[in-house]
């Protein structure tokens, strides 16, 4: 019986210790120490990809600017619908950088065809080729299209998985306006 009580006491002590540990971690996260991640409120992970001119481009190159980051592929029908909406947003918000990350590894067409396909919607898009799905993997892209709105300080303000609906478009406009 004494062993059972001692065992029960140890279990209760361990559970209460774990609870305290989690609370401390939450306090640190809520503090000014913003953690890197892929969710709203996290600092966006940096990456370096090649653009349509063959230059290396990093997400951090756009620090101080709002960024609309979109992962897509040419064969994706929802991505095609999104391109039209994103192009109209870009026409309206000239001060926002629209980074269009193509999942090149999944494409059946070459890079020139990818560029021509995307630039039908807007020649102002920044086209980035994710040849080995590096950026897609650090952002855990499991479905396309996937988009992020990142503020001037590199903080993710919105993550959108799937096509942009009318309701989401209004929410995006509000975020881009602020």
Query: Which structural domain, as residue segments, surrounds residue 101?
Result: 34-177
* Residues 67 and 109 reside in one and the same domain: yes
Residues 6 or more apart whose CB falls under 8 angstroms from that of 178 comprise: none
Query: pLDDT in tens for each of the 178 residues of the chain?
Result: 544 443 333 344 333 433 443 333 332 334 357 799 999 999 999 999 999 999 999 999 999 999 999 999 999 999 999 999 999 999 999 999 999 999 999 999 999 999 999 999 999 999 999 999 999 999 999 999 999 999 999 999 999 999 999 889 999 999 988 8
Element (H, E) at 68: strand 67-72
Q: What angle do CA 48, 38, 177 make, to 5 degrees?
A: 90
- Evaluated on CA atoms 48, 143, 162, 73, the torsion sign reads positive
DSSP conformational letter for 143? S
Residues 144 and 62 in one domain: yes
State whether 10 and 91 are in the same domain.
no
Burial 80-100 (b: 16+ CB within 10 A, else e): bebbebbbebbeebeebbbbb
Q: Does residue 167 share a domain with residue 102?
A: yes
What pLDDT was estimated at residue 32? 59
> What's the Rg (C-alpha) of the chain?
21
Residues 119, 143 within the same domain: yes
Number of H helices, E strands in the chain: 5, 9
Strand pairing class (156-161; 36-37): unpaired
Residues in the chain: 178
CATH number at residue 111: 3.40.30.10
Residue 86 sits in the same domain as residue 101: yes
Are 110 and 54 members of one domain? yes
Q: Of the candidates 26, 140, 54, which has an alpha carbon nearest to the alpha carbon of residue 148?
A: 140
Please tell me whether residues 27 and 12 are part of one structural domain. Answer: yes
Residue 169 token pair: 């478009």
Residues 10 and 87 in one domain: no
Residues 23 and 62 in one domain: no
How many separate domains does the chain show? 2
pLDDT in tens, 125-136: 999 999 999 999
The pLDDT, as a whole number, for residue 21 is 37
What would the two tokens of residue 81 be?
């619908």
Place of tokens 């481009």: 57
The residue whose two tokens read 């989690």 is 22
pTM exceeding the 0.75 threshold for the entire prediction: yes
């Amino acid at each position: 019986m004494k062993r059972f009580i001692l065992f029960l006491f140890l279990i209760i002590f361990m559970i209460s210790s774990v609870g305290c540990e989690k609370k401390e971690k939450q306090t640190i996260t809520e503090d000014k120490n913003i953690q890197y991640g892929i969710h709203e409120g996290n600092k966006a992970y940096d990456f370096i990809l090649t653009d349509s001119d063959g230059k290396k481009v990093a997400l951090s190159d756009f620090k101080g600017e709002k960024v609309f980051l979109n992962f897509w592929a040419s064969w994706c029908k929802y991505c095609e619908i999104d391109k039209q909406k994103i192009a109209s947003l870009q026409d309206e918000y000239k001060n926002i950088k629209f980074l269009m990350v193509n999942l090149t590894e999944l494409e059946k067409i070459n890079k020139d065809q990818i560029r021509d396909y995307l630039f039908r919607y807007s020649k102002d898009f920044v086209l980035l080729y994710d040849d080995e799905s590096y950026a897609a993997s650090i952002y855990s892209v499991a479905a396309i299209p996937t988009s992020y709105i990142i503020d001037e300080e590199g903080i993710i303000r919105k993550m959108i998985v799937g096509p942009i609906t009318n309701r989401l478009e209004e929410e995006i406009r509000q975020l881009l306006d602020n």
